[in-house]
């Protein structure tokens, strides 16, 4: 009898004191009160009662346990708070639902399930999902869930959750913001899928559209840039007759740097957050509302929002503002109208617009099997069809979207945008064809002009003396130089006398150095501003084209990690560039000088690396035009008074427009040791060429040795080869400069070497883009294993003088680009 009583008491205690043991389950006869918690099996999440911020209200919620403890991802009774700590959670006796009970008022929240179970249990999973299932059966995943919190989301979108609609059951996975940071009740903003027309996601403010994420195109959402960091998560979009939804899965779940979540803030911004474990903070990796161009319909119908333009909105080609006066006053809501009305049955056609976010598709029609030609034919036959586009990029592009109303909510995406074909009258088609053939016409005219000028020069050469020919050449260059100043009126023009005075008549005492362009002098203007003066030498390997290219490129760039061009001087046939003065000269004067190198501690070097990466990211992705530098090296990284890096020397840079991402050239220009294999051998260059140069620079910074001048008694590899073999054999200490090893975090340094090796991989497809590199540098995300670098043996050029390799420029004797 005593034994039976003891067993009974033990059973009662085990069933009532949930908080006394680490369990992930609440059973039917257990009591779960305010102060009790349950933890998921792997310890990732915790369920219990909490009060947000300064609020005294009590809520039942789920939050992270291992990291960012207190970050709540789900709330049960968000609109029915408890006013005290009398809350009680129970699985009711009939097994119908999970309930939250207030002792004084009764049930204040319930899961409202209608399936009867013999032995119901509530379980918290390591995904953050709270589920209700049959406890006596083996657990086989989602099919066994009678109810789950993932079907009733709040403001957080976690890996594995669905965002969309179940077309069979009508279940709508909608996310909604909190009212404020201390009030989890239903806020003003909701995010959901609209299945009308071609399905797309919206964020609503109350019942009005706030922003539109756009339709899925097989690769990404039309309204978002492509910024999925390599190796962190995988997008999944399901679109069939039963359900339409999006979700994402973490690929590398074994590290805290891979923890990600979307959150819809009380102000309506949907953000993708990444956990930064070293700093113990959530970092914003992507914001759905980066600019006012993300506001729905900002530019009205047929208006395009351009983030880098002033004014922000402009009409599609062939359209004009409906109310010009409002347009001038920055009220673009009325949109644009056609210059010429459409007339059904007339000679109409389509004009292609590229690099855009596709318009609102709620009133569209789609067919998943059509190709582009079939799509065009269907739209052309229907006079109500205003535009068409390919639905998916995958498998070469397929699927057709047709619009039957005015086009609204369009913005430019130079890098990640799509093509759309808009119906136009014949008059606009003539203009469009003229614009389309204009480059070819200009090219033919230019060729004819060159031939004609060549003939003229040949006749002049026969008739006149060499002196007259040189005089003519100087006159032509003077005209060209004057044209440079006229083309960019915002760039200040300095008179030659003021530059002469500032540099003490280009005194040798003021000379800072000399490169392929010519000598560089330190100067001081009359207002006390220190400047760096770059003067083209008469015998320089660079000429008028490089001078014009540098002016046109860098004058339009504004970034803290790019050198600032203050102006130019073209008087007296001079070609002079005036820059802000960099007190600490160039990076190579520090990292390759054993005496000076010791003044750079690891935090300063890490800041320099991060700054160079961010400057390069701006050139590749965030500037108005994508710019490929083509000559990134240590001597072209200047350091200001605070040792902040600034990328310089844009003489051979190339600009890309629209969807251009790579090009070929027969004139390979650059510096040996920094040039990628595909560029040096085949003349192919892209953003990945600059990434390769950046990788070389990283390894040089860490080792303190130039790639081309490196030598080792045990092998003939260059610096890249040495780093690669050291990495393969777990001997990275042999790569790192001793000064860095003595005063640094070894893990951080090893990581930078690995990032460098990822950047110099042989195949450009294997190299990361700069947005991924910046994330790698600023987080501790797991890095993939690098493959063999390009040019890692490169000893067939060993007859060149290593001491001058940093300045060596190569040019094939072929026509200019």
Find the radius of gyration of the CA atoms of the chain.
33
List phi, psi (to 5°) of 294.
-85, -5
Task: Enumerate the β-bridge partners of residue 685.
Answer: 663
Asked, for residue 458, whether it belongs to a domain, the answer is: no
Same domain, 195 and 116: no
pLDDT, one tens digit per residue, over 409-423 is 999 887 678 899 999
d(CA 692, CA 758): 9
pLDDT-derived band of residue 2, with 50, 70 and 90 as boundaries?
very low
Using the CB atoms, write b or e for 418-430: b if 16+ within 10 Å: bebbbbbbeebbe
In sign, the C-alpha dihedral spanning 455, 456, 459, 465 is negative
Question: Is the predicted pLDDT of residue 140 greater than 70, yes or no?
Answer: no
Q: What angle do CA 614, 619, 622 make, to 5 degrees?
A: 80
Nearest to 94 by CA among 110, 75, 76, 80: 110
Asked, for residue 557, whether it belongs to a domain, the answer is: yes
3-state secondary structure 269-310: CEEEEEEECCCCEEEEEEECCCCHHHCCCCCCECEEECCCCC
Residue ending a domain, among 104, 137, 152, is 152
CATH number of the structural domain spanning residue 803:
1.10.510.10
List phi, psi (to 5°) of 261.
-160, 150
Same domain, 704 and 592: yes
Same domain, 318 and 335: yes
Q: Is the peptide bond before 393 cis (omega within 30 degrees of 0)?
A: no
CB 311 within 8 Å of CB 294: no
pLDDT, one tens digit per residue, over 733-783 is 999 998 888 777 788 899 999 999 999 999 999 999 999 999 999 888 899
Same domain, 241 and 226: yes
pLDDT-derived band of residue 166, with 50, 70 and 90 as boundaries?
very high
pLDDT-derived band of residue 594, with 50, 70 and 90 as boundaries?
confident
Residues with catalytic function = 631
- What integer pLDDT is reported at residue 12 of this predicted model? 37
Q: What angle, rounded to 10 degrees, do the helices at 687-703 and 602-617 form?
A: 170
pLDDT, one tens digit per residue, over 532-548 is 999 887 665 555 667 77
Q: 688 or 381, which is more confident?
A: 688
Same domain, 602 and 566: no
Please provide the average confidence, as pLDDT, over all residues in the chain.
83
What mean pLDDT do residues 452-465 have? 71
Q: 777 or 5, which is more confident?
A: 777
At which residue do the structure tokens 């929002």 appear? 305
CB 589 within 8 Å of CB 596: yes
d(CA 103, CA 317): 67
Question: Is the predicted pLDDT of residue 19 greater than 60, yes or no?
Answer: no
- Six token digits for residue 373: 């030609």
Asked, for residue 85, whether it belongs to a domain, the answer is: yes
Q: Please tell me the pTM assigned to this model.
A: 0.55
pLDDT, one tens digit per residue, over 323-355 is 999 998 889 999 999 998 888 777 788 999 988
d(CA 532, CA 522): 5
**Residue 371: which domain range?**
293-424
Q: 354 or 658, which is more confident?
A: 354
Same domain, 312 and 283: no
Residue ending a domain, among 541, 558, 580, is 580
Low-confidence winner among 46-60, 171-185, 429-443, 735-749 (lowest mean pLDDT): 429-443
d(CA 389, CA 392): 9
Task: Enumerate the β-bridge partners of residue 244.
Answer: 165, 239
Query: What is the three-class DSSP state of 24?
Result: coil
Residue ending a domain, among 110, 131, 152, is 152
pLDDT, one tens digit per residue, over 233-286 is 888 999 998 999 999 988 766 655 568 999 999 999 999 898 888 888 898 888
Query: What is the three-class DSSP state of 637?
Result: strand
Query: What is the three-class DSSP state of 119?
Result: coil
Q: 480 or 48, which is more confident?
A: 48
Which regions of 446-559 does DSSP assign to beta strands (E)? Answer: 511-514, 519-524, 530-535
Same domain, 417 and 488: no
d(CA 629, CA 616): 8
C-alpha distance across the termini of the chain, in Å: 99
What mean pLDDT do residues 19-24 have? 57
pLDDT, one tens digit per residue, over 787-815 is 999 876 644 333 333 333 333 333 332 32
Same domain, 602 and 693: yes
Q: What angle do CA 653, 654, 656 make, to 5 degrees?
A: 145
Same domain, 94 and 53: yes
Rounded to whole angstroms, what are the CA distances from 31 to 13, 58, 119, 389, 799? 10, 18, 15, 58, 82
Asked, for residue 344, whether it belongs to a domain, the answer is: yes
pLDDT, one tens digit per residue, over 229-242 is 555 788 899 999 89
- Six token digits for residue 231: 């190796």
pLDDT-derived band of residue 606, with 50, 70 and 90 as boundaries?
very high
Question: Is the predicted pLDDT of residue 658 greater than 70, yes or no?
Answer: no
Asked, for residue 103, whether it belongs to a domain, the answer is: yes
Nearest to 215 by CA among 207, 227, 224: 224
Task: Characterize the bridge pairing of strands 410-411 and 303-305.
Answer: parallel
Asked, for residue 129, whether it belongs to a domain, the answer is: yes
CATH number of the structural domain spanning residue 143:
2.90.10.10
**Alpha helices per DSSP H over 390-465:** 426-463
Asked, for residue 504, whether it belongs to a domain, the answer is: yes
Same domain, 307 and 242: no
CATH number of the structural domain spanning residue 537:
3.30.200.20
Asked, for residue 642, whether it belongs to a domain, the answer is: yes
Question: Is the predicted pLDDT of residue 657 greater than 60, yes or no?
Answer: yes
- What integer pLDDT is reported at residue 97 of this predicted model? 78
CB 79 within 8 Å of CB 186: yes
Question: Is the predicted pLDDT of residue 674 greater than 80, yes or no?
Answer: yes
- What integer pLDDT is reported at residue 783 of this predicted model? 93
Task: Enumerate the β-bridge partners of residue 176.
Answer: 190
- What integer pLDDT is reported at residue 96 of this predicted model? 62
What mean pLDDT do residues 579-594 have? 91
Residues 6+ apart with CB under 8 A from 235: 220, 228, 246, 248
Nearest to 632 by CA among 708, 687, 590: 687
Task: Please count the structural domains in the chain.
Answer: 5
What mean pLDDT do residues 180-196 have? 95
Nearest to 177 by CA among 159, 191, 163, 165: 191
Nearest to 380 by CA among 427, 425, 348: 348
DSSP single-letter state for residue 769 = P
- What integer pLDDT is reported at residue 286 of this predicted model? 81
Q: Give CA 565 to chain center in angstroms.
A: 26
Same domain, 99 and 182: no
* Region class of 300: left (phi > 0), else alpha (psi between -120 and 50), else beta: left
CB 732 within 8 Å of CB 753: yes
Same domain, 609 and 518: no
Low-confidence winner among 168-182, 549-563, 581-595, 717-731 (lowest mean pLDDT): 549-563
At which residue do the structure tokens 């009532």 appear? 16
3-state secondary structure 186-242: EEEEEEEEECCCCCEEEEEECCEEEEEEECECCCCECCCCCCCCCCCEEEEEEECCC
Per DSSP, the chain holds a count of helices (H) and strands (E) of 16, 47
In the chain, % of residues over pLDDT 90: 45
């Amino acid at each position: 009898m005593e034994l039976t009583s003891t067993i009974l008491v033990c059973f009662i205690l085990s069933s009532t004191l949930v908080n006394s043991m680490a369990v992930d389950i609440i059973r039917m006869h257990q009591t779960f009160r305010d102060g009790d918690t349950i933890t998921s099996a792997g310890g990732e999440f915790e369920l219990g009662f909490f009060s947000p911020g300064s609020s005294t209200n009590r809520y039942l919620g789920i939050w992270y346990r291992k990291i960012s403890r207190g970050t709540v991802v789900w709330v049960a009774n968000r609109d029915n708070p408890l006013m005290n700590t009398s809350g009680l959670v129970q699985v009711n006796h009939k097994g119908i639902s999970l309930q939250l009970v207030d002792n004084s008022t009764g049930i204040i929240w319930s899961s409202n399930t209608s399936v009867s179970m013999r032995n119901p249990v509530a379980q918290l999973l390591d995904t953050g999902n709270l589920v209700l299932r049959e406890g006596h059966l083996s657990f086989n995943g989602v099919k066994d869930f009678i109810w789950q919190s993932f079907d009733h989301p709040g403001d957080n979108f976690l890996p594995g959750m669905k965002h969309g609609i179940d077309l069979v059951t009508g279940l709508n996975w909608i996310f909604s913001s909190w009212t404020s940071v201390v009030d989890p009740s239903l806020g003003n903003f909701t995010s959901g899928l609209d299945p009308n027309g071609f399905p797309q996601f919206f964020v609503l403010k109350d019942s009005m559209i706030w922003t539109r994420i756009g339709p899925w195109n097989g690769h990404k959402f039309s309204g978002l840039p492509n910024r999925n960091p390599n190796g962190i998560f995988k997008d999944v979009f399901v679109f069939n007759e039963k359900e339409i939804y999006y979700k994402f899965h973490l690929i590398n779940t074994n590290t805290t740097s891979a923890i990600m979540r979307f959150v819809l803030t009380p102000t309506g911004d949907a953000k993708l957050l990444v956990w930064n474990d070293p700093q113990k903070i959530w970092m914003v990796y992507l914001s759905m509302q980066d600019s006012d161009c993300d506001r729905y319909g900002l530019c009205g119908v047929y208006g395009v929002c351009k983030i880098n333009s002033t004014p922000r909105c402009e009409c599609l080609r062939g359209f004009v503002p409906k109310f010009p006066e409002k347009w001038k006053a920055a009220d673009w809501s009325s949109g644009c109208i056609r210059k010429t009305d459409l007339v059904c049955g007339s000679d109409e056609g389509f004009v292609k617009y590229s690099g855009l976010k596709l318009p609102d598709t709620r009133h569209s029609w789609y067919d998943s099997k059509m190709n582009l030609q079939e799509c065009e034919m269907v739209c052309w036959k229907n006079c109500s069809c205003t535009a068409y586009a390919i639905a998916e990029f995958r498998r070469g592009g397929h699927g057709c979207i047709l619009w039957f109303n005015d086009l609204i909510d369009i913005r430019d995406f130079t890098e990640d945008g799509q093509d759309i074909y808009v119906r136009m009258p014949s008059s606009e088609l003539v203009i469009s064809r003229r614009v389309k053939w204009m480059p070819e016409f200009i090219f033919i005219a230019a060729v004819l002009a060159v031939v004609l000028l060549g003939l003229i020069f040949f006749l002049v050469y026969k008739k006149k003396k060499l002196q007259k020919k040189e005089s003519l050449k100087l006159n032509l260059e003077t005209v060209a130089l004057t044209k440079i100043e006229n083309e960019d009126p915002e760039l200040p023009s300095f008179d030659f006398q003021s530059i002469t005075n500032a540099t003490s008549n280009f005194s040798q005492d003021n000379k800072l150095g000399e490169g392929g362009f010519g000598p560089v002098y330190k100067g001081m203007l009359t207002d006390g501003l220190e400047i760096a003066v770059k003067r083209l030498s008469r015998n320089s390997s660079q000429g008028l084209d490089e001078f014009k290219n540098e002016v046109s490129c860098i004058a339009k760039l504004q970034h803290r990690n790019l050198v600032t061009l203050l102006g130019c001087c073209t008087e007296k046939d001079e070609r002079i560039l005036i820059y802000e003065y960099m007190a600490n000269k160039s990076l190579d004067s520090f990292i390759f000088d054993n005496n000076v190198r010791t003044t750079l501690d690891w935090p300063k070097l890490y800041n320099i690396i991060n700054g160079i990466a961010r400057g390069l990211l701006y050139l590749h992705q965030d500037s108005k035009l994508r710019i490929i530098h083509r000559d990134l090296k240590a001597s072209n990284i200047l350091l200001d008074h605070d040792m902040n890096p600034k990328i310089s020397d844009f003489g051979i840079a190339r600009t890309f427009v629209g969807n251009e991402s790579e090009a070929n050239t027969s004139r390979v220009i650059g510096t040996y040791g920094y040039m990628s294999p595909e560029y040096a051998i085949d003349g192919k260059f892209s953003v990945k060429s600059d990434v390769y140069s950046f990788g070389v620079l990283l390894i040089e910074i860490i080792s303190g040795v130039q790639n081309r001048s490196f030598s080792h008694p045990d092998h003939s590899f260059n610096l890249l080869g040495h780093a690669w073999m050291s990495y393969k054999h777990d001997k990275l200490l042999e790569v790192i400069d001793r000064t860095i090893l003595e005063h640094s975090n070894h893990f951080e340094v090893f990581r930078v070497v690995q990032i460098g090796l990822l950047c110099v991989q042989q195949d450009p497809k294997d190299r990361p883009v700069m947005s991924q590199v910046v994330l790698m540098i600023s987080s501790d995300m797991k890095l993939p294993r690098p493959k063999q670098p390009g040019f890692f043996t490169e000893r067939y050029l060993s007859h060149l003088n290593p001491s001058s390799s940093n300045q060596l420029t190569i040019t094939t004797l072929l026509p200019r680009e």
